[in-house]
Structure 1
């Protein structure tokens, strides 16, 4: 009987799993943590009175969101001791995902857990405030206030410059070629005057421990990197969209993967986001 119950729970849960992981990942910024939360939700689903649940998707979304809120409290403490800039785990997408880009995910980090939940559930996933209220156990008026406050904080992080898929991939491939070959003239022509680099090594691989700002500083860094790439190599695995931004995955000389995502403004690269922390790249293997 237990096996029948397990199969029954899985049959109703598995079609919803990708949606639930999407919610959890956007709440937490970590693929592994999102998968753990969704698995915990499945365990709770197995033990629930499923016959009494009229809307399994709403029930499970509430469960996942509440588990994420609990996790965010401890995640915030970990971030305070994180070595260097923190970036969300890179997700390489088949298509450009415009709802939550990497800059927006970084802006969400500055919100309280409840603001983050209200904003994502209402503004991104399109839920009515009555449903948001049930999920985070606040009244609808409070949820409206939370979402409004969140919107004010993240407004600047919404994508202002849309890049079509093909053009974005071409830009990413051109950036890879110029940065690896040491063609500084071609690279410089791609960058805005106030370009920045944000590299997440997590203290586990070499990376700048603070963001680098400005054209001259970024060019100097890439001149140094070009010499390293010449001696050690850097192989393009694939180009695509990473957290909604054009970018690429590379295999570096140390045998580890790396992702580079490019924020584009008016056809030029305004920010470069590099993830080198191997813990954040395991799912890409």
Structure 2
């Protein structure tokens, strides 16, 4: 056997690895936790008799879902003691993610934040059904519920998410233009530049995790967000620069202090104005902020 030859179990796992990571990440909002889930999935997968597996993709998704659901229940308790607001870990994504409208929306920070408001089983069912189009029977096997119960959970979760997610999708060019205007405002520190690009009802969520200063509660309104940023920048004894980037398939800014990454601002745009700012400064959540992460729905 050639030293480059891999066994069937490894080949099938590698073929679906990006999908499994995406499933785990959408359920957990953490790349580190998603990687741990993939390791747990692999350890269980190598013990499986492949001769009894008809659909490797479905089988692997089922294992991943079970492991992610266990971890999600544990992390839900951990988040209760988190200092300030808990935001999903931003991922620097490859260009194909931004070009795939369905994928970009499913991993957007706006939707990921909404998913955080679901109970663990609701989140698993929503992600598998609405994002990955998994059959109800497969979902039932993964979450340990009957197909009828899964249908009810899916309906309830869908209504919950639809009531809270952004309703007016914009083109990628419009989103990039708004992000660029916001970048110029951040660097110029001109109040009017902020007010020109921020929607009146804009909401800023910050995540410092106790390691860095961040808003402990949502900041609502263009004037309040502008004042908060200007006051904060006045206290910083460093050169602030911003780079346009793509996080979670959507426009974002990488904020740097004297060249060192300080945080990622993921943005939501509606009607050519920014309606949501998700500013992640917790260093533990910035490990994927400068290396592209491949995501996929297939």
TM-score, scaled to structure 1: 0.91
Deviates more, 1:152-161 or 1:263-272: 152-161
- 2:240 counterpart residue number: 234
Correspondence 1:80-99 to 2 at 5 A: 80-93=80-93, 94=95, 95-96=97-98, 97-99=104-106
- Residues 20, 38 of structure 1: 8 Å contact kept: yes
Match of 1:111 among 95, 110, 118: 118
- Residues 187, 241 of structure 2: 8 Å contact kept: no
- Residues 238, 250 of structure 1: 8 Å contact kept: no
| Number of aligned residues | 282
- Residues 256, 278 of structure 1: 8 Å contact kept: no
2:55 paired with 1:48: no
1:218-270: CA deviations, max 9, x gaps? Answer: 121122234356x5112334422x23442122322483341101211211111
Query: Higher helix share goes to which structure?
Result: 1
Tell me how far 1:45 sits from its aligned partner: 1.2
Q: Equivalents in 2 of 1:226, 1:277: separation in Å?
A: 18
2:146 paired with 1:139: yes
- 2:179 counterpart residue number: 172
1:86-133: CA deviations, max 9, x gaps? Answer: 110002232431234222222211211111111111111111212211
What is the SS of the residue equivalent to 1:249?
Answer: strand
- 2:19 counterpart residue number: 19
Alpha-carbon spacing, 1:191–1:71, altered in 2? closer, same or farther (3 Å): same
2:80 paired with 1:73: no
Q: Equivalents in 2 of 1:128, 1:233: separation in Å?
A: 52
Q: Equivalents in 1 of 2:7, 2:164: separation in Å?
A: 43
Match of 2:287 among 275, 282, 285: 282
Q: Equivalents in 2 of 1:55, 1:13: separation in Å?
A: 12
- 1:250 counterpart residue number: 255
- 2:215 counterpart residue number: 208
2:169 paired with 1:162: yes
- 1:122 counterpart residue number: 129
Tell me how far 1:8 sits from its aligned partner: 3.5
- Residues 101, 159 of structure 1: 8 Å contact kept: no
- Residues 84, 207 of structure 2: 8 Å contact kept: yes
Correspondence 1:178-197 to 2 at 5 A: 178-197=185-204
Tell me how far 1:205 sits from its aligned partner: 1.1
What is the SS of the residue equivalent to 1:157?
Answer: coil
RMSD across aligned positions (CA) = 2.1
Query: What residue ranges of structure 2 are gaps of 5+ in the alignment?
Result: 99-103, 291-298
2:241 paired with 1:262: no
